[in-house]
Amino acid sequence: MKKNETKLKVGLAQMAPVWLNKLQTIAKIKSYLEDAAAQDCELLIFGESLLPGYPFWLSLIDGAKFNDPVQKEIHAHYLRNAVEIEKGDLADFCALAKKHQLAIYLGIIERAENRGGHSLYCSLVYIDATGTIQSVHRKLQPTYEERLTWAPGDGHGLSVHPLKDFRLGGLNCWENWMPLSRTALYAQGENLHVAVWPGMVRNTIDLTRFIAVESRSFVISVSGLMRPSDFPTDTPHLDKILAKAPEYLADGGSCIAGPDGNWIIAPVAEKEILLTATLDLNRVLEERQNFDPTGHYSRPDVTKLILNKDRQSILKIENKD
């Protein structure tokens, strides 16, 4: 391996969105991209559902109340501010990635054209250093109250991507607790695992190190941040949302564990910050000597995983003429 291909400078963008304001959140994300480029980062990672934000209202104002006009109004606002990839909502990020040769993992709320354009998916987008969108992974199973606003995804985006001599893969939030989803990435050669979260130290402090030990890979957890002051004043029903909002709806927790499970950056809480570190792939090679979960320590003759990577849709057009 060429020496300069085995080290990678990564950035962890722990930031709050301008909640449910797509255009202003895009502008804020771009400022982090420029800052990361100025610090010579080669990979920059943002938290789950950052653009345009996590559905915090569901647990604060009776999100399960059926046919409630308040819930309908907020959901419609969410839809209007969701990301429409086919309409170019990520074009500025692609241009900056190409300009700075900076790969990006970004958590978005996707308004999916191939599912009719009116349902929302919690998606993790990978943009490579040429500015090309290489994968859009829709969260397989929204968690608990998230199911009231997000639809379940599919395996189409369960992919790994080369960056230098690293192979990157990523999952959204509690997907990282799903052993078969992790295994699907390990088996494709992943050696740098990206876990994105809306933001809570309690989620990242144990699982980040566990995945690192299980996979013998670098694991980067990136979380968002959210405080009552981060809600724009024009948020629908803001008074109801803030009435029960805690001091931190998301307190961060971004961190990096090495392939031996030890901290490179321990979880950082309660601050907006760009964290950086340089990773050395040789550390993975050393730890794979005694354990490789889908290589020399696997038994495919006994247990085997099937991965369906079809993009799911209700419509298949067989004749486009």
Q: Residue ranges of the domains in the chain?
A: 3-287
| pLDDT given at position 1 | 41
Give the active site residue among 41, 94, 173, 255.
173
- Nearest CA-CA partner of 288 in 186, 174, 202: 186
Does 122 qualify as catalytic in the annotation?
no
Nearby residues of 5 by Cβ (< 8 Å), 6 or more positions away: 164, 165
**Residues linked to residue 254 through DSSP beta bridges, in sequence order:** 268
Report helix, strand or coil for 75. helix
Half-sphere exposure of 190 toward its Cβ, with a 13 Å CA cutoff? 29
- Residue 316's pLDDT band, with cuts at 50, 70 and 90, is confident
- Nearest CA-CA partner of 180 in 55, 305, 11: 305
CA distance 94 to 114: 21
276: left (phi over 0), alpha (psi -120 to 50) or beta: beta
Give the active site residue among 22, 41, 42, 48.
48
**At how many degrees (to 10) do helices 179-186 and 201-215 cross?**
50
Q: Which helix (H) or strand (E) holds 256?
A: strand 250-257
**Residues linked to residue 37 through DSSP beta bridges, in sequence order:** none
| 3-state class percentages of the chain: helix first, strand second, coil last, to nearest 5 | 30, 25, 45
Give the active site residue among 139, 190, 255, 287.
139
> How confident is the model over 111-147, as pLDDT tens digits?
999 999 999 999 999 999 999 999 999 999 999 999 9
CA distance 197 to 50: 9
Structure-token pair, residue 234? 């024009």
Burial code of 234-244, b = ≥16 C-beta within 10 A, e = fewer? ebebbebbeee
> How confident is the model over 247-287, as pLDDT tens digits?
999 999 999 999 999 999 999 999 999 999 999 999 999 99
> How confident is the model over 38-94, as pLDDT tens digits?
999 999 999 999 999 999 999 999 999 999 999 999 999 999 999 999 999 999 999
Does domain 3-287 correspond to CATH entry 3.60.110.10? Answer: yes
